[in-house]
Structure 1
Amino acid sequence: MSSLLIFIGLLLVLLVLRVPIFISLAMSAMGLGVIKFDDPYLAFVVQKMFSGADNLTLMAIPLFMLTGDLMNNGGMSKRLIDFSNCCVGWIRGGLGFVTVMTCCFLAAILGSSSACAAIVAAILIPAMVKRGYDLEFAGALTAASGGIGPIIPPSATALIYAVAASQSVKELFIAGYVPGVMIAAGFMLYTYYVARKKGYPAEPKPTVKSFFTALKSAIIPLMLPIIIMGGIVSGIFTATESAVVAVLYCVFVSVFLYKEIKVKDLPKSLMNSAKMSCIVLAVMTTANFLGYIMTLSQIPQATTAAITSFTESPIVFLLMINVILIFAGMFLDAACAIVILVPVLLPAALALGVDPVFFGVMMTVNLMIGVLTPPVGLNLYVVSSISDINILRLSKAVLPFIFIMIVVLLIMVFFPQTVTFLL
């Protein structure tokens, strides 16, 4: 365990000094290597970092990010919001329901919590405030609903876990549906309770004609998640190939069908996606070297021995891990937490008979709490900057949604078949 403490100490010092996360990971791993071993081990740094990025599955991450950019700029997101309004807007607190439902639709395509929150916040928060909703509630609901993104497939977080843990992307995607739906249902129930308590209005009921008009407008973007998951589940194409199909579909729809993006604007979307992808891929390169040093240091073996000597109950173990993950999510984003913690915690989970796919989905759900908690709390900062909401008041308003996510986590821990029965 001394090796793990050395690594954590080095990493925390570098993060406090505001060193970029991927450099912090690499320097911490190198520091651990120098302390524990001779210099020749460090000759593998570049080789291991290169092999960390040399993975076909990781190619899906920039492609799904490009899909999200094309959807937003190509008018597909607006059509999904209009359709969601026709479906659930007529319920009391209807715009809150629309927010959750829209995030579920976008989640099935974007796989990014911050992108989902940003798109919905810009459109629906002003609309909710205009209809009498409290600004803090509207912001908190949007920030929390954005966190559904990486849970419902396709998910960049699931892809990163699949690479780090050598698990099936297809199974991780399928297993994410039930927790995502449970969280969305919890958010809707709480929204209805608040709407009844504070008198938030319902939107006018759509006519049959307006409903089918909205459905006709949204059918093309609604087909995208069906194509993606249908192709993956049926085995027609892999997760990476599905990302290529998604990009081509969005380009065709946005440029040639809706004509809301010009061909000359495509390089800008490509550049935006490349910049966002570099952050994730830089972390993945250093994570591979980190895993190599951890294995040589026998950190996973020592952690497994320590945990199994403390408890042999999978439920007690998972409860302990959830506490660790909630704390880690307050300071690290999901990608960084996964690449750091999976090599340490997964061997112990396997030793106690925990399903690795279930473990990955549980980690994803848990770490989405991190996007709602300072000091990292990315969704809080995104919504705060877009809607000019005080970050402290927003952090307080989001607490009920965090509680709902914790309840879903507990259900998963005590009833893991809720995640695995679809596999």
Structure 2
Amino acid sequence: MTLVIFLVLMALAIPVGLVLALTAVFYIWNSDNTILFQSYGSQFFSAIENYGLLAIPLFILVGELMNEGGLTQRLIQFARVFFGGVRGGLAYINLLANMMMAAILGSAVAQIAIMSQAMVPEMEKEGYDKTVATSVTASAGILGAIIPPSMMFVIFGVLAQVSIGNMFVAGLIPGILLGLGMLVVIFFIGLKNPYPKGQWLTPKEALKATLNAIPALLIPVVIILGILLGITTPTESAGVACLIALLVGLFGYKELKISTLPALLKRTVISTSTVVFLIAAAGVFGWTITYEQIPEKVAMWITASTNNPIVFLFLVCALLMAIGTVLDGIAALILVVPILLPIATMNYGIDTYHFGVIICIVLVLGLLTPPVGSGLFVASSITGIKPGKLFIGLLPFLLVVSLIVCLLVIFPVLTTGLI
């Protein structure tokens, strides 16, 4: 009956956080264990009593400060130094700029929104097909959920109670592989439909673009090196990155205005509240499914099907691809980690970081697949390309991402090698 209530609430398009909280309430009431109501509030808040979660609002704030402070445009111009004169250079610039932005924003949807506004009109102006331009932008945007710092990695680290810094390190090689895979796709699309010819920047323009980008490039350097060298925690590096973005926007590029800060902070608070409430509600939901011994029951069912860890991971990937088409990636992550992680580690001996990177990549594919696909619809609404047409344009990129996931499943060293 509890499952029916959960599915009905989801079908009514009620926000996922409320669905999880209400389902937990119904379970307690329906099971006659009403004494559990006394623990409901404490369970709700204990889910967010974690220092690591402080990184979420800070990374959201970094993205807002960058966008308002003109750092995004400097990174795009810097990418022109490397690919400006190549045929189809703007497509490669788009990808490179997305990889640099991914090392700062940590949110795929935010990145897709920002880059769709910045890159698609520019590519269309230079003669690129609008669908191709949007497909490149949206697919490259999912790197924001994989290349550190990643909001999904932060949440997984909190749920799994493992080092968020190590999660970031585990995502480095997969993030680079995804970027290279997308670069190959862009190359082959260009063979079928020749891109417009690019134009190299003059030495003077290239030098200016590089110098202008240095302050913006300090942010990913501070975040990643601070974590890798053990100088800062992910939360501390996010705080330092916020300070750099604020100072560069105000006094370096002088595009960030004091008058815009209240609205900027309000957007940060709203975005943070949505994510944190979802985590809190999922904490209560996870508490009830643990009380009902659902993870143990699922473990018995899966282990009866296979005792091979690679087969198990492929089964999990297939399941999560299906879940990702109807649930937001973060919501799905919060739902499945309490159930699947104990099975992966205890029954199959799979490394926690290996498992975390794989499920985060698989779930982020749901951002670009119907019927929910928040990243798909964000790009569609900004550029005016119909979601169905855009999804067809995204298929080659989704295929390459799926192939890279297969590599990660078979070769765990690609995720654990740097830890």
The equivalent residue for 1:3 is none
Q: Aligned in 2, Cα 1:170/1:7: closer, same or farther, shift over 3 Å? A: farther
- Trace 1:22-421 onto structure 2 (pairs within 5 A): 22-350=17-345, 351-421=347-417
Instruction: Give the TM-score of the pair, scaled to structure 1.
Output: 0.96
Percent identity of paired positions between Structure 1 and Structure 2: 37
Structure 2 residue runs of 5 or longer lacking an equivalent are none
Q: Distance in 2 between matches of 1:175 and 1:211?
A: 33
Aligned with 1:340: secondary structure?
Answer: helix
* Residues 195 and 201, structure 1, Cα contact 8 Å, conserved in 2: no
Q: Distance in 2 between matches of 1:136 and 1:91?
A: 20
Deviation at 1:27, TM superposition (A): 1.3
Deviation at 1:155, TM superposition (A): 0.8
Q: Aligned in 2, Cα 1:80/1:8: closer, same or farther, shift over 3 Å? A: farther
- Trace 1:7-18 onto structure 2 (pairs within 5 A): 7-18=2-13
Q: Distance in 2 between matches of 1:318 and 1:365?
A: 13
Moved more, 107-116 or 130-139: 130-139
Deviation at 1:7, TM superposition (A): 4.7
Aligned with 2:195: secondary structure?
Answer: coil
What letter is aligned with 2:417? F
* Residues 89 and 202, structure 1, Cα contact 8 Å, conserved in 2: no
Q: Distance in 2 between matches of 1:396 and 1:8?
A: 34
What letter is aligned with 2:235? T
What letter is aligned with 2:394? V
Structure 1 residue runs of 5 or longer lacking an equivalent are 1-5
CA RMSD of aligned residues (A): 1.3
Deviation at 1:37, TM superposition (A): 4.9
1:90-144 deviations in whole A, cap 9, x for unaligned? 2221111111111100000000111111111112111222222221111111111
* Residues 92 and 192, structure 1, Cα contact 8 Å, conserved in 2: no
What letter is aligned with 1:397? G
Deviation at 1:10, TM superposition (A): 2.6
* Residues 325 and 363, structure 1, Cα contact 8 Å, conserved in 2: yes
1:151-182 deviations in whole A, cap 9, x for unaligned? 00111110111111111101110111111111
What letter is aligned with 1:361? V
Deviation at 1:287, TM superposition (A): 1.3
Q: Distance in 2 between matches of 1:246 and 1:11?
A: 40
Alignment: residue pair count = 418
Deviation at 1:366, TM superposition (A): 0.6
Instruction: Give the TM-score of the pair, scaled to structure 2.
Output: 0.97
Q: Distance in 2 between matches of 1:397 and 1:12?
A: 31
* Residues 71 and 250, structure 1, Cα contact 8 Å, conserved in 2: yes
